[in-house]
Amino acid sequence: MNCSIVYASQTGNTALVAQAVRRGAGACCAQFGEAGAAALQGDLVFVGYWVDKGTADQQSRQVLAGLANRRIALFGTCGMGGAPDYYAGIEQRVAALVPESCTLVGSFLCQGKMAQAVGQRYEAALQADPSDARAQAGLVNFRRALGHPDEEDLARAERFARQIVTQDQEKTI
């Protein structure tokens, strides 16, 4: 069994997670790289995305739209953290992008650091209004996100991929 791993990464977070997914996929990985580079091989495709406005980025949405009759495993990174319900909503919205002819076999999402400009916007908002609760919470989250994806995030991504590949191999035997 062969699989492909493709990803889109704006700040490098999803690229780091993609490397962990690649380690977890092991020898079944026949193709690895940035989304849109080539036609995808294998019946199992891992698609990595970064979260943009609560769903997958445009490039990843295009990759998903172009897939047919595949088993799909999704993985992604999101700057916002600490909100399981928010993550569940993202995973549901991205899962809804999987074409009907495909089968979603799993999903993984973890926190990633945000672009410095985001932190600067929160700081500027707090300079203008130190009591701005939304900017205060945003800055706390921005600072927490700086360490992500961390080693535990990457280990969980690797385990996720290993589990998907193992389950897929068992179903095709």
DSSP the chain: --EEEEE--SSSHHHHHHHHHHHHHGGGEEEEEETTSSPPPSSEEEEEEEEETTEE-HHHHHHHHT--S-EEEEEEEES--S-HHHHHHHHHHHHTTS-TTSEEEEEEEEE-PPPHHHHHHHHHHHHH-TT-HHHHHHHHHHHHHTT-S-HHHHHHHHHHHHHHHHHHHHHH-
pLDDT in tens, 156-169: 999 999 999 998 77
User: Minimum mean pLDDT among 35-49, 73-87, 114-128: which range?
Assistant: 35-49
Q: Please give the pLDDT value at position 7.
A: 95
Q: Tell me the pLDDT band of 84, cut-offs 50, 70 and 90.
A: confident
Query: Looking at residues 112-136, what average pLDDT do you find?
Result: 91
The pTM assigned to this predicted structure is 0.90
pLDDT in tens, 47-67: 999 999 899 999 999 999 999
